[in-house]
Structure 1
């Protein structure tokens, strides 16, 4: 490889890594957005969680078509289509913010997430392929680290822009000025995201030859019909079990994340306490407004540490996986996460807030481990199995709705029972996987795209 082509490949990899950051950032913006729309549009918890539903249901709609599109159109056209859809989603979000129409918010989130789904299908194998094959594991892990960085920054910026002055506790009302300011924050966030995506689209168009030359060719199975791909996936018992596991994991993770700000803001947790501000890094990020207790905006900023815990846990978990069996580690992490949910649900108090934020540490390894354990045991093709597992991310649409229903009827604390049950089933999945026969070896880095 000459210096010119090497530089072009490096720049292309940098751009792909920026895509990982972008979809992590955009996805985690949904957390403060749920709290914001609940106040702006005076919604119940179930209604507010429709934002999450609109975003994650896109995985169910777009995953298999995205795999088929990539097999036929290759990487660059697929990425450009995905970025075009994301730009369209941002433009609908801008219209929603300016017209103050909740239905448009849902439409914008669905279009945006459909683009992200297509992007994930194309970007994961591309990140591994752009450069020396010896370092493919490093490149994909490095890109996924930036994805986690995006999920950490998203709630901080989103809470700052969306939640200033917004309160949703019983008896509180949002003034027109606060409502207008929150809508302006939504408008500003998606305007700049739209600009970033447009710049990335231009870069990929200009560097299309370099990227296409490095992009992996789809296998014969992937070039088959969409119907055949789906039928293949559903023919495998372990592909279906893995799909259920991903459904429950993503559902639990998102249900906790999207209600975390509301949970922490509850008077039974941090709503009347200043204790969190005494924690050095956490207190600095939250930025006390001088009023006693934790406001919704301050709680929204704290949500970044839930996702930041997943980022740190992924680094530590990678080391642990070198010494311990993946099934045992998954069983341990899911059991601990279930226990933490139950403690926070029934104990309450200031400690419950810290425990709930720490669940992210144990979420960290779940997605990639479930993904690879399933690929190893599935009798369906890797492409079909991966497609079904990506489809199963729709758990992020349905489980938060159930958590919202529990919140409306029993409060934010008891709503944590919903993810606790999900983690308990995942613990059983890990135990079953330990006893199941391994069908194939897999390249873990190439298989797990991260969530």
Structure 2
């Protein structure tokens, strides 16, 4: 019998690793897409269930609170059971979350929507902690940075597509302005759109689950488990993280950044649809008609506004590509200070000036959000006295800001209006600018490790 040559074996190994890497990249796309579906979903449930702004924002809170509760357990799970079992657990959890969302859409029960989003996000939290190092490890070590950046680009592409498809499925005919009524036919159609979206997402996740089960040996060979003696328990990770001043400061910065970004994104469709911005104007169609569509009715409908939210996340995608080039030439702390200061000024423009131009200005905030998460992450890792795993666990936990600040901006917009409510994210960006200046003055203690990109 002829034995396969070493070259053939290596070639098969490379093919297997490439197939596994392609599946991991789909994971990045999937969780970006699912996360950005929250934006049109907030607007949809407000109309479907006749909710206040704050009640509708509970959808974002239910999703992002999972990061606060699950990040450290996810790190401990991965340390104990390794990448593949953790990914299988994450995907199984996400399937359960999708099934709960399907039940919520068919039974029209809002608390069930919140439960489904929390379960779904719990799986995504585990997935994020496991998939980043896996993407870097599947292939030639010299090209690990390229692979991780490539996967993260697909994550950004998912966040761009989510609002477009979500607005198309969830918001047709839905209106939430005072005095408007969502008819039973429109309500049924919106719920059917939610059902359809999470049905197909469930199918995608099941396919990925089966792939990783079949390919578990290939992935395990690419990323062998850490020696048992090097694994830290959840209690040890938490104690170490909270003993570091810079880990705590960085955690607060992540809390503020994610809270501001999510609060703006989840309010954006309602903001653009309001009469004070684009609700009674056709000005946006001249620039963005190609992505918003135009139903022929004067003013921007909620569905058209929901599609425009993709430009907010698209700006972050473009900004990440440009920012990565700029970060190779300029100081990370100075770049962060500049971007946060500009974002704060853009928010203040919306608050103080308002009007049609404020819609364009608000969408451009996404461009300056682009580098904030990875730069805050790496600046913190470089200055933290805790080990990278402990610091990363605390920083991922701080993503819970996406559950807290959107709820408060919902309360604020209900009393002072959508434009004035941006004073809250403006304050967050000012504090982030202070963080960037302080980090620039503090010496780095260690080289930064790989980061998890939100």
Give the TM bin, normalised by the shorter chain. over 0.9
Cα offset, 1:190, TM superposition: 0.1
Cα offset, 1:219, TM superposition: 7.0
Equivalent in 172, 181, 185 of residue 164 of structure 1 = 172
1:187 paired with 2:195, answer: yes
CA distance in 2, matches of 1:184, 1:364: 33
- Judged with a 3 Å threshold, the aligned counterparts in structure 2 of structure 1 residues 324 and 219 are, in CA distance, closer, same or farther, namely farther
- 1:251 matched to which residue of 2? 259
CA distance in 1, matches of 2:222, 2:343: 40
- 1:144 matched to which residue of 2? 152
Cα offset, 1:377, TM superposition: 0.1
- 1:300 matched to which residue of 2? 306
Equivalent in 76, 81, 102 of residue 73 of structure 1 = 81
SS of residue matched to 1:157: helix
| 1:430-449 C-alpha deviation (Å, 9 max, x unpaired) | 00001112110124xx2x22
- 1:96 matched to which residue of 2? 104
- Judged with a 3 Å threshold, the aligned counterparts in structure 2 of structure 1 residues 352 and 221 are, in CA distance, closer, same or farther, namely farther
- 2:453 matched to which residue of 1? 450
- 1:353 matched to which residue of 2? 359
CA distance in 2, matches of 1:91, 1:213: 33
1:313 paired with 2:316, answer: no
SS of residue matched to 1:2: helix
CA distance in 1, matches of 2:270, 2:170: 14
SS of residue matched to 2:342: helix
* Paired residues of 1:129 and 1:216 also in contact (CA < 8 A): no
- Judged with a 3 Å threshold, the aligned counterparts in structure 2 of structure 1 residues 106 and 369 are, in CA distance, closer, same or farther, namely same
* Paired residues of 1:16 and 1:127 also in contact (CA < 8 A): yes
Uncovered stretches (5+) of structure 2, i.e. residues with no partner: 1-8
1:427 paired with 2:430, answer: no
CA distance in 2, matches of 1:415, 1:182: 27
- 2:390 matched to which residue of 1? 384
Cα offset, 1:426, TM superposition: 0.1
1:49 paired with 2:57, answer: yes
Cα offset, 1:285, TM superposition: 1.0
- 1:412 matched to which residue of 2? 418
1:217 paired with 2:225, answer: yes
Equivalent in 202, 205, 216 of residue 197 of structure 1 = 205
CA distance in 1, matches of 2:88, 2:178: 45
Equivalent in 240, 247, 270 of residue 278 of structure 2 = 270
* Paired residues of 1:221 and 1:381 also in contact (CA < 8 A): no
CA distance in 2, matches of 1:439, 1:68: 25
1:400 paired with 2:398, answer: no
TM-score, normalising length: structure 1: 0.98
CA distance in 2, matches of 1:150, 1:220: 36
SS of residue matched to 2:318: helix
1:12 paired with 2:15, answer: no
1:363 paired with 2:360, answer: no
CA distance in 2, matches of 1:73, 1:145: 28
Identify which range, 215-224 or 181-190, moves more after superposition.
215-224
CA distance in 1, matches of 2:295, 2:286: 14
- 2:6 matched to which residue of 1? none
Uncovered stretches (5+) of structure 1, i.e. residues with no partner: none
CA distance in 1, matches of 2:83, 2:114: 28
Cα offset, 1:216, TM superposition: 5.1
SS of residue matched to 1:170: coil
CA distance in 1, matches of 2:14, 2:443: 42
Cα offset, 1:217, TM superposition: 3.5
- Judged with a 3 Å threshold, the aligned counterparts in structure 2 of structure 1 residues 221 and 27 are, in CA distance, closer, same or farther, namely farther
CA distance in 2, matches of 1:45, 1:134: 48
CA distance in 2, matches of 1:219, 1:178: 56
- 1:334 matched to which residue of 2? 340
CA distance in 2, matches of 1:81, 1:90: 14
CA distance in 2, matches of 1:219, 1:190: 39
* Paired residues of 1:403 and 1:418 also in contact (CA < 8 A): yes
* Paired residues of 1:233 and 1:239 also in contact (CA < 8 A): yes
CA distance in 2, matches of 1:395, 1:81: 25
